[in-house]
Amino acid sequence: MALAYLLGKGASKALHTKINIPILLVLSILPDIDILSEFLFNHPIHRGPTHSIIVALLIFLPFFVIYRKKAIPYFLGLISHSLIGDFIAGGQLRLLWPLSQAEFGLHELGFPIIKVGSQTEILLELSLFVIATLVLIISKDWRVFFKGRLSNLVLIIPITTVLLPSTIGYPFNESLLITEPILALAHIFYAALFSIAILTTLKTLYQRWFGKKDNKKPDNHTNQPTIKTPYQFEK
Ligand SMILES: [Zn+2]
């Protein structure tokens, strides 16, 4: 998510377009939806079609036609997951599925393997987290998480994916709080930030839906004299 944010942010600056950060963050973790296949069908297909650049391109084609350059930061956010993150850590990506079943990654290119959960991978993740957090603060992008925007509700997806590894430990054998407490803190930071965004949005929606009757009353009161007065004069 940190990587997608940095890339998406950079691209939006260069292209002079606006980005919706919560949607960008969700797109960056979407390829890992294939983890669900293990649960639903008892058939692990991790790093398969959902990590394919061809599939990402096909999905994004209509968005490129409609939104043109505005879609580029989101596309970069999505493909950064496979093309950079997973490519460096773990590899074994079917990047060109369905055109090719070949697996890609840094290790497949002849470099030493960087496993998910290894010290090198954790260091990379933490570095990206620190840089992304600094950019989030300096650019004042953090303010989006304190606004009651409907699109903030999509953050329920990363909340589940960042909270699960750092609390119950899935997909690792143990909780990150025990194995990698510093990395767990980064997860909890995002989870807290996203929870604030969701709660703020829910509060705004609640006020909009259930606070309507109260809001109408003053309007009626202010309208009544302006309607009544000319009517009374006419009489
Ligand atoms: Zn992945």
The whole-model pTM stands at 0.84
User: What is the distance in A from the centroid of ligand 1 to the CA of 81?
Assistant: 6
* Residue 221 predicted with pLDDT over 90: no
pLDDT at 234: 43
Separation CA 72–CA 33 (nearest Å): 22
Residue 224 reports pLDDT greater than 60: no
pLDDT computed for residue 232 by the predictor: 44
Alpha-helical segments (H) within 93-180? 119-138, 156-166, 176-179
Distance 222 CA to ligand 1 centre (A): 58
What pLDDT does 179 receive? 84
Q: How far apart are CA 9 and CA 5, in angstroms?
A: 6
- Cite the beta strand spans of the chain per DSSP E: none
Q: What is the mean pLDDT of the chain?
A: 87
- Residue 150 · residue 207 · CB < 8 Å: no
- Report yes or no: 9 and 26 within 8 Å, Cβ to Cβ: no
Contact 133, 189 (CB under 8 A): yes
pLDDT of residue 172: 64
Q: What Å distances lie between residue 73 and 20, 69, 177, 213, CA to CA?
A: 10, 8, 32, 41
The per-residue pLDDT for 34 is 85
Rounded to a whole number of angstroms, the distance between the first and last alpha carbons of the chain is 69
Asked if the model's pLDDT at residue 212 lies above 70, the reply is no
Which segments of 69-211 does DSSP mark as H helices, in order? Answer: 72-80, 87-88, 119-138, 156-166, 176-179, 181-210
Output the pLDDT for position 177: 85
Distance 37 CA to ligand 1 centre (A): 13
| Residue (of 120, 105, 144, 111) closest to 12 by Cα position | 144
- Going from the Cα of 64 to the center of ligand 1, the distance in angstroms, rounded, reads 23
pLDDT in tens, 72-112: 999 999 999 999 999 999 999 999 999 999 999 999 999 99
122-166 per-position pLDDT tens digit: 999 999 999 999 999 999 999 999 999 999 999 999 888 766 667
How many Cβ atoms from other residues are within 10 Å of residue 30's Cβ? 15
Compute the distance from residue 48 Cα to the ligand 1 centre, in Å.
9
Reported as a pLDDT band with limits 50, 70 and 90, residue 213 is: low
